[in-house]
Amino acid sequence: MKSFLVLLCFVALAWSQETPECACGGFISEWNDLFEVLHLPPINVDGCEDYMTCHERCVDEWTFLTNDGDLDHELPDGKTVGQHMCDNLSEHGDVNVHPYQVFLYSNLCRGPWFYDGQGSIDKLCCLNGDYHPCF
């Protein structure tokens, strides 16, 4: 009976574990702080040690969604990548932002964020919440 109870506890614990997940996002950096300006869809991975898959899939998602870092790239909803970033910043009260390079970061299983070696072609500038080319 005790063995069954212990087995049941292990099954319950395993069942409650979350699926290992890789998070990706575009960030700007200011005074050693990172601010997420673009949240990419989460990616399921095999385990919380699968850093290479997380990195590669984030780079692939960034390349596809932003046309390799082009903030002027138009998404299916008709908005540019840059406008989505300005919209996200506006939701947090940051309507005037300029000029910032946007960098791709990833984290695995809610761990620390790591720079993935990718960045925007252009710099991000938002004026009154609207994306515009930086001068």
DSSP 19: P
Helix, strand, coil shares of the chain as percentages rounded to 5? 30, 35, 35
Please give the span between the terminal C-alpha atoms of the chain, in angstroms, as a whole number: 74
User: What is the chain's pLDDT, residue by residue, as a tens digit (135 residues)?
Assistant: 444 333 333 333 343 357 899 999 999 988 778 889 999 999 999 999 999 999 999 999 999 999 999 999 999 999 999 999 999 999 988 889 889 999 999 999 999 999 999 999 999 999 999 999 887
Strand partners, 32: none
Q: pTM to 2 decimals?
A: 0.81
Rounded distance between C-alpha atoms, residue 135 and residue 131, angstroms: 12
Residue spans per domain, the chain: 20-131
